[in-house]
Structure 1
Amino acid sequence: MATTIKILKTVKPPLRWIPEPKDFTTEFLESKSQDPNGPSIEDLRNGPNSVLQEALRILGRCLPPSEPAGRETGLVVGYVQSGKTMSFETVIALARDNGYGVVIVLAGTKNNLRDQSEDRLKKDLGIDEGGDHWYHLSNPTKAQRSQIESKIDAWRKKSSKKSLLITVLKHGGHIEKLTAVLQAVKLNGVPALIIDDESDQASLNTQASRIRKLRAPANAMSTTYEKILGLRDVLPHHSYLQYTATPQANLLLAQTDLLNPSFSELVTPGDAYTGGHAFFKSAVGLVEDIPPGDVPTPQHPLKSPPKSLLKALRYFLLVAAQHSLTRKKGLTSKDRNRSMMVHPAVATTQHKIYRDWVEKAFSALKRRIEADSVSKPGSLSAIFQTEYDALAKTYSELKPLSELIAALADEVLDDLNCVEVNGTPDAEKKVSWKATKYWILVGGAKLDRGYTVEGLCVTYMPRPLGTSAAADTLQQRARFFGYKKAYLGLCRVFIQPSVKDAFTEYVEHEDFVREALVQNRGKPLRDWRRDFILTQLLKPTRPNVVGLGIRRVLVEDWIVPNVLQRDDVAVAENRLLLDKVDKKWSKDFSRDNAATIPRLAPTKGKSSNDVILDVPLTTVLEDFLLNLEVKDPKDAEEHSAMLVALSALLAKDPSLKVDVFVMNQLKPGYRSRVGTSTLPASNKFAPINQYFSQSANAINDRSFFTPDRISLQLRRFNLGHHQRDESKADIHDVTWYALYVPKKLKKDLFVENRD
């Protein structure tokens, strides 16, 4: 423990307090380490990114239990299927060990998700075994008021070691009932913890966009959001932790939003985790295209199962057979299953069609295998040969095809269930993973966010990207992510090419968001610029929860600020900065007259401009662009977007160079501010009316760049209101720049508006 405390005391920014893992946390972690396919006790407890260390950081930023009252809000970000539940279970264990009397888990917006989370919590926290650490209530109502009151009194008197765990459906009605119960209970001096699982879903104020656009009053609230605020209001001492893998909506909350987090922390997945990089960046052959002809549309409905669906089924049967031949005895339900997921569309009518197709195809294969496994084994091999050969390329330990077919006949075909998971009466309400080893699940929204498919190895998702696809929504469909390193080569994902492209782009976006969170972990997010790298394929999140103004900025061609200065301090600091880089770069790199570039040579004499060639982009960023004072709000947005884009380019290619054009050898030129008298006082420093001087059929300012690489123009201006009389300049020696980004390096970003 001494080592742990020493590590936690070095965390920056400092923690509010240092939690201590005691008996229950130790028992919990030891129990989790016993899972045959789970993490080792060393991975759970040791190292700065272990589950315990990260949980200690998270709880250490929450409200200390020793304080009499108050509230705190935090954001915890993981990857899809990366161990977020393990993280908040460990935080819950620590909270119980350190004097929190009540823990509330907002456990999903659908009953199947609440049941899944509730079952796991009861199992992992020892509640199913009647342990001495917890009382548990699910969706409590007023009828349970006296029960809650007695448990709280027992906790307060220390006559019981048990804390109270409440799981509730994330639904306005259920949260309101819980609030009414707790409001009638004395909670002073009872530290509470709220865990909001999938916090970017339903919890946020869907009226935010209408408020921002002045289409709704400033106090407008969506139902679930309002009820969560009401729940928080009846807890005198509490911390509220927002857990999610897709934080885009949380990060775009208005600065004044009551759920805006005051700190962020991250969940780091273990080495066995396979996410976006594993499927869309590193591994080859795991993702298969669904051709356009295999995707039903209203104009062209499919009358028979598409060939790609049948191919996916054959893959799954071979993988299930491999599992049957190699699985160990006595494994937990987490390890004993292999599953296929079919996600055709939202409409449940499509689910039934696809289930019928799968069942008929499976039944036909079953009859064929049962009939020919002995008399005509060669004909069966031909059915699976293509898929077998593909699996053999990505998984070196694949059993011989003849053995896999035998395993299909001996076990797999008799131990496989195909079910719908949706809201229809005939759907599977709760998949019992222990009932059988092999499953094919067909569904839509209920198989999206937060739902864990045990042993998922084959995904068939013809669902299109859509015209308004949001990055967070798309990523939450990736149920095929998870701890699958041991059998990653047996996994297959069938999606349309456009969806594949979007997932690939999301990986870059996710990397940037997490890196930004790492740099800002523990700090208030309201002080952080929310700049996201995204292409035209994706929006960051659904627009109705966005309380910040965001707009798209295309970093391509010329980027030129609109306003020359906002205050005298900025002018002075930028003037010194330009002097510094002019001297430094002229000394460190090759500087020459721009006329040495043939297309920029004037007909007579030298050019009035110089060029410094091959300055590393890292140098341009570190010496100049990152240090510029940009005071105009709109220019600041674009400048921030430009920095993000250049940083992303640099991450891909650290060797990028910039040609720097020293315009007019930094002698101040004159530009007028004609027409600025009509501008509001807040804009008195004037947008420049013409940055680039242009003359037809001549070399002009806009000509000075290198077409295939990033180019930077540096210059100075004197500014005045008189159109031609430079002697009337009233602002002198203003530093200015323009940046050119070639089309091949363009970046398309969303940036936050700051009005």
Structure 2
Amino acid sequence: MTEEQSKVFQRVVSVAQTFLADAMEKGMVTPALIAEQVDFVAGAMVQGVEIDRRAAVAELIRRFSLWIGNASTLADQEGHKDWLTAARRRDWRYWQRYRDFLERKMSLKAVEALDESTNQILELLEDPVREGRWDRRGLVVGHVQSGKTGNYTGLICKAADAGYKIIIVLAGLHNNLRSQTQIRLEEGFLGYETSVRNDVVRFIGVGENGRDAEIRPNCATNRSDNGDFNTRVARHYAITPEQRPWLFVVKKNKTVLERLLKWIRNQVADAKDADGRPIVTNLPLLLIDDEADHASVDTGEQLFNPDGTPDDDHQPKAINSRIRKILHSFAKKAYVGYTATPFANIFIHRRNETKEEGPDLFPQSFIVNLSAPSNYVGPARVFGLRSPEGRIGGLPLSREVDDHLDEEGSGGWMPPKHPKDHVPLHDGLDEVPPSLRNAVGAFVLACAVRILRGQGRSHSSMLIHVTRYTAVQEEVRRQVDALVKRFRQRIERGFERDELLAEWKRLWLDDFVPTSAAIGHALKDLEADCDLPDWEDVVAVLPEVFGDLSVRAINGTAGDVLDYAEREETGLKVIAVGGDKLARGLTLEGLCVSYFVRTTKMYDTLMQMGRWFGYRPGYVDLCRLYTTPDLVEWFGHIADAAEELRQEFDTMVATRATPREYGMKVQSHPVLMVTSPLKMRSAKSLQLSFSGEVLETVAFHRDPGILAKNLAAAEHLFEAAGVPAEAGTITRKRDEGAQDWKGFLWKDVPADHVIDFFGAYLTHPAARKVNSALLMDFIKAMVTNGELTSWTVVLMGGGEGEPHSFCGKYSIDNMATRKPKDGSGHYSIGRLLSPRDESIDLGEDAWRAALELTISAWTKDPARQTDEAGKEQPKTPSGPAVRRVRGYGAEGVPAAPERGLLLVYPLDPKTAGLPEDGPPVVAFGASFPASRSITTVKYEVDHLLWENEYGPAD
């Protein structure tokens, strides 16, 4: 496709989409109608230019089959005045031109969703023309690589329309990420390309053809690699309230932020506050903090005076201090952080404040959870979600890697721990391991298929992320570059060409053909184009692939950059080797193949390294993730943790909780033991709460002695609990009929017996969330507050395993079975509880109240669903709703924070691969009611052990 054909193609798609907008409102868009409109528009517009009408129809089918859930919000309205009305939005020009720009490239539904979510965020800020002092601080949580930059660009446009005059965007730690953000904002907000002299080079994006030049915003930074804020240039800037808005795109760098702070105080401030500090009273500030959990959080532990006030001698960390000082220099300000991993932001103490910096960056005003469109490929899509049957719904994109290590696992090409001068050798040779050779071959084939699908002018990228050390990255780049050159010579010159093509044909037949078929079936609701071309056609375009392919190192010292913007017309095909720069924020356009063997296991760091999540229109079936089995398991943990927290968030939204309440919840969430303890601002221990949680054992010992000990602990509990209140079939009346369970149920079991059970039960070290000793300590602490004093205990049967008798009198006809996961030395399962089991102790009214809360909290967020069923309104209560109703009560349902639920599941040892005549594997699920108390239990952290287990914080 030539440049002219590409532009005509985009124009035809855009105009046809506009013509179809009315039909979309009526739900009447069909593939036949789309084809008809494409033919009409192409016939009317195209003179002498051939366009791919089939590709245009396919693109429009994708756009119109899209669906998007709603954003949800936790807000604290204290001190806030409602202000955003339809009349106020009527003549907004920055937003209108950005909207027009987006509609040329995106689905109308996606643009509509962005319009709604940015309205939600903007109305939570303050009216920029409001008199007096005001301060709003919020957080927007999106999915990794899901379009957060597009969202805050829309927010900036609307904020500028509303009257915000100073807009500062904090864009990562590195020059290339800052430059990438600057380019995106030039296209979406400024409308012109900036230069070192800060003049208009040419009109682009929203300002193409000089559109709306009279409202052109000012910009104090430029797109060059060293185009950050510069005091020498800034001295010539004069900012007054009457002027158009000013944009600053700056790095999170101590020197740059200090420079900006001094300029604001010396050049912009028009008054002094009560302490004599310069302050800006006439210009409202909007500060956007991209990747807000990275570098912005104060990791020093602030002390508090005996009266509870913050110790003013506390010295925040350098970047956090300067961000807060900049905010503190404005009388009217709004701070909005954007992140996919909000854990560190939630750990910020709510009361942190100093005289010099003002309050800390806790999002006290609001937290907004963005939903992703249905074409977003996130953790739940890639890895599935856990269930009693194992992980379900994941796409077959992962390929396991183990040949980067030697047989002992401590040496080889890229061992987990290696020095910064490590020389990567495979079997003693200066070359990459076979798995990486395979991954590069897969990328070459993916590029070839994209060319044949009409996507040859689109960017295609491969990520190689194996080490944090730049010198080692350079060695890897050199090896991969040598490999690509050998491939190119064989394809272009014919030497050993047949052997290479035979190798790739095996990869094509064994991998590409079955994978594309499987993904086409799994994503049929997205109208995914997963048809593969003939092998002969793939071979024919390989020279074209190698003609454009380059290998680059992207790190703090390398000269290579990913110049996507400069190659917009031709498409960049690049293999990027890097570390931290590739791990956070930097978008890899058209990412097809990832080779990833980094060893960190911290949730937020891993999530940010997941650059392969995102949008893959027309090529999701070509994407591959080459990684270790260990990391696949950890990404599964991440998908589950993210889902738990979003469910909890939605439940709190439905009950009108505030960001402070959610902060307490997340700060003590046991899943988040796996984030950097520095970011948790606790150098010695974590304070955990299990209130509102369900904890279930999914990792178990195989030692018969320990299994027998855990069985004895369970039998002792049953004996101490007395006579069961229900036995055999346990029935509960529900709206749709009755729900039945098999087993034995004890009511009003004193907490002492449950404490004894946890004291005697030995959990496996690999149980990331469940530690029986911690649970015992937590229940003891809650009992002193009058909570968790009376328990419902259930011995669960009704499985498909063998029978077993407990205490000689509690006979289970069929024990539960849980299939073991491969690759671990212990017995490991996906999920223990069936979701409905948590409601076994709810009466009909409480069950209905929990269901109503579940429905009101439910959002159609496709990034959290793995199949079509995700669009259906729930018919049973969610776990968070059950636990909240139990703890807080509901209309006609009294609160019962004293009532815990302990579910004991005997698992058939035969299914676990253990001796049939051995003891059953005793598993448990503990469901804790939500609580208004903030009782916690201490979890000691050894930093050296932490780094050894989870790797350093990046």
Please say whether Structure 1 and Structure 2 have the same fold, judged by a TM-score greater than 0.5. yes
Q: Who is 2:494 aligned against?
A: 372
Once residues 29 and 705 of structure 1 are traced to their aligned partners in structure 2, the CA distance between those partners, rounded to angstroms, is 66
Once residues 393 and 142 of structure 1 are traced to their aligned partners in structure 2, the CA distance between those partners, rounded to angstroms, is 58
Unaligned runs of 5+ residues in structure 1 are: 558-597, 623-653, 667-680, 693-698, 715-733
Q: Who is 2:482 aligned against?
A: 360
Q: Who is 2:397 aligned against?
A: 286
Q: CA deviation at 1:198?
A: 0.3
Once residues 478 and 73 of structure 2 are traced to their aligned partners in structure 1, the CA distance between those partners, rounded to angstroms, is 56
Alignment of 1:229 with 2:324, yes or no, is yes
**Are the counterparts in 2 of residues 345 and 463 from structure 1 also a CA contact under 8 Å?**
yes
**Are the counterparts in 2 of residues 107 and 117 from structure 1 also a CA contact under 8 Å?**
yes
**Are the counterparts in 1 of residues 114 and 154 from structure 2 also a CA contact under 8 Å?**
yes
Q: Who is 2:137 aligned against?
A: 73
Q: Who is 1:393 aligned against?
A: 514
Alignment of 1:264 with 2:367, yes or no, is yes
**Are the counterparts in 2 of residues 255 and 526 from structure 1 also a CA contact under 8 Å?**
yes
Q: CA deviation at 1:144?
A: 4.8
Q: Who is 1:167 aligned against?
A: 249
Once residues 599 and 232 of structure 1 are traced to their aligned partners in structure 2, the CA distance between those partners, rounded to angstroms, is 60
Alignment of 1:33 with 2:136, yes or no, is no
Alignment of 1:484 with 2:550, yes or no, is no
**Are the counterparts in 2 of residues 556 and 741 from structure 1 also a CA contact under 8 Å?**
no
Once residues 171 and 350 of structure 1 are traced to their aligned partners in structure 2, the CA distance between those partners, rounded to angstroms, is 25
Q: CA deviation at 1:98?
A: 0.9
Q: CA deviation at 1:406?
A: 1.4
**Structure having the higher Rg:** 1
**Are the counterparts in 1 of residues 696 and 924 from structure 2 also a CA contact under 8 Å?**
yes
**Structure 1 residues 165 and 741 mapped into 2: Cα distance closer, same or farther (>3 Å)?**
farther
**Are the counterparts in 2 of residues 276 and 507 from structure 1 also a CA contact under 8 Å?**
yes
1:106-128 deviations in whole A, cap 9, x for unaligned? 11111111111011111221132
Find the partner of 1:424 among 543, 553, 557: 557
Q: CA deviation at 1:321?
A: 1.0
Give the alignment of 1:263-662 within 5 angstroms. 263-281=366-384, 282-294=393-405, 296-297=414-415, 302=426, 303=429, 304-327=431-454, 336-372=458-494, 379-389=499-509, 390-395=511-516, 396-409=530-543, 411-428=544-561, 432-434=566-568, 437-464=572-599, 466=600, 469-521=601-653, 524-528=658-662, 530-531=664-665, 539-547=673-681, 549-551=686-688, 555=695, 608-611=723-726, 659-662=744-747
Q: Who is 1:119 aligned against?
A: 183
Q: Who is 1:203 aligned against?
A: 296
Q: CA deviation at 1:337?
A: 1.0
TM-score between both structures, scaled by the size of structure 1: 0.71
**Are the counterparts in 2 of residues 338 and 454 from structure 1 also a CA contact under 8 Å?**
yes
Q: CA deviation at 1:34?
A: 1.3
**Are the counterparts in 2 of residues 342 and 459 from structure 1 also a CA contact under 8 Å?**
yes
**Structure 1 residues 147 and 57 mapped into 2: Cα distance closer, same or farther (>3 Å)?**
farther
Please, what is the CA RMSD of the aligned residues? 4.6
1:276-306 deviations in whole A, cap 9, x for unaligned? 1221113442100001554522689533310
Once residues 289 and 387 of structure 1 are traced to their aligned partners in structure 2, the CA distance between those partners, rounded to angstroms, is 15
Alignment of 1:739 with 2:896, yes or no, is no
Q: Who is 2:858 aligned against?
A: none
**Are the counterparts in 2 of residues 80 and 275 from structure 1 also a CA contact under 8 Å?**
yes
Q: Helix, strand or coil for the counterpart of 2:618?
A: helix
Unaligned runs of 5+ residues in structure 2 are: 1-24, 26-69, 194-202, 204-209, 222-227, 271-279, 353-359, 385-392, 406-412, 419-423, 517-529, 698-714, 752-780, 793-804, 817-832, 843-896, 906-921, 938-954
1:140 maps to a residue whose letter is F
Q: Helix, strand or coil for the counterpart of 1:545?
A: coil
**Are the counterparts in 2 of residues 346 and 445 from structure 1 also a CA contact under 8 Å?**
yes
Once residues 216 and 651 of structure 2 are traced to their aligned partners in structure 1, the CA distance between those partners, rounded to angstroms, is 37
**Structure 1 residues 514 and 683 mapped into 2: Cα distance closer, same or farther (>3 Å)?**
closer
Q: Who is 1:178 aligned against?
A: 260
Q: Helix, strand or coil for the counterpart of 1:360?
A: helix
Q: Helix, strand or coil for the counterpart of 2:220?
A: strand
1:354-401 deviations in whole A, cap 9, x for unaligned? 21221222122212112339xx97545312122212112222421112
Q: CA deviation at 1:744?
A: 4.3
2:583 maps to a residue whose letter is D
Once residues 504 and 484 of structure 1 are traced to their aligned partners in structure 2, the CA distance between those partners, rounded to angstroms, is 21
**Structure 1 residues 741 and 550 mapped into 2: Cα distance closer, same or farther (>3 Å)?**
farther
Find the partner of 1:242 among 311, 324, 337: 337
**Relative to structure 2, which stretch is displaced further, 470-479 or 282-291?**
282-291
**Are the counterparts in 2 of residues 54 and 266 from structure 1 also a CA contact under 8 Å?**
no
1:296 maps to a residue whose letter is M
Q: % of aligned pairs identical?
A: 23
**Are the counterparts in 2 of residues 108 and 197 from structure 1 also a CA contact under 8 Å?**
yes
Once residues 628 and 493 of structure 2 are traced to their aligned partners in structure 1, the CA distance between those partners, rounded to angstroms, is 35
**Structure 1 residues 311 and 685 mapped into 2: Cα distance closer, same or farther (>3 Å)?**
closer
**Structure 1 residues 94 and 326 mapped into 2: Cα distance closer, same or farther (>3 Å)?**
same
**Structure 1 residues 11 and 311 mapped into 2: Cα distance closer, same or farther (>3 Å)?**
closer
**Are the counterparts in 2 of residues 453 and 479 from structure 1 also a CA contact under 8 Å?**
yes
**Structure 1 residues 617 and 550 mapped into 2: Cα distance closer, same or farther (>3 Å)?**
farther
TM-score between both structures, scaled by the size of structure 2: 0.57
Q: Helix, strand or coil for the counterpart of 1:439?
A: strand
Alignment of 1:134 with 2:217, yes or no, is yes
**Are the counterparts in 1 of residues 726 and 744 from structure 2 also a CA contact under 8 Å?**
yes
Q: Helix, strand or coil for the counterpart of 1:419?
A: strand
Q: CA deviation at 1:747?
A: 7.7
1:127 maps to a residue whose letter is Y
**Structure 1 residues 111 and 613 mapped into 2: Cα distance closer, same or farther (>3 Å)?**
farther
Once residues 156 and 746 of structure 2 are traced to their aligned partners in structure 1, the CA distance between those partners, rounded to angstroms, is 58
Once residues 181 and 600 of structure 1 are traced to their aligned partners in structure 2, the CA distance between those partners, rounded to angstroms, is 68
Q: Who is 2:910 aligned against?
A: none
**Structure 1 residues 211 and 535 mapped into 2: Cα distance closer, same or farther (>3 Å)?**
closer
Q: CA deviation at 1:244?
A: 0.2
2:547 maps to a residue whose letter is D
Give the alignment of 1:690-709 within 5 angstroms. none
1:501-553 deviations in whole A, cap 9, x for unaligned? 11112111111222333344585311226446999997442111224843386
Once residues 116 and 105 of structure 1 are traced to their aligned partners in structure 2, the CA distance between those partners, rounded to angstroms, is 12
**Are the counterparts in 2 of residues 76 and 264 from structure 1 also a CA contact under 8 Å?**
yes
2:128 maps to a residue whose letter is P
Give the alignment of 1:46-125 within 5 angstroms. 50-68=113-131, 69-125=133-189
**Are the counterparts in 2 of residues 54 and 267 from structure 1 also a CA contact under 8 Å?**
yes
Q: Who is 1:561 aligned against?
A: none
1:514 maps to a residue whose letter is R
**Structure 1 residues 460 and 663 mapped into 2: Cα distance closer, same or farther (>3 Å)?**
closer
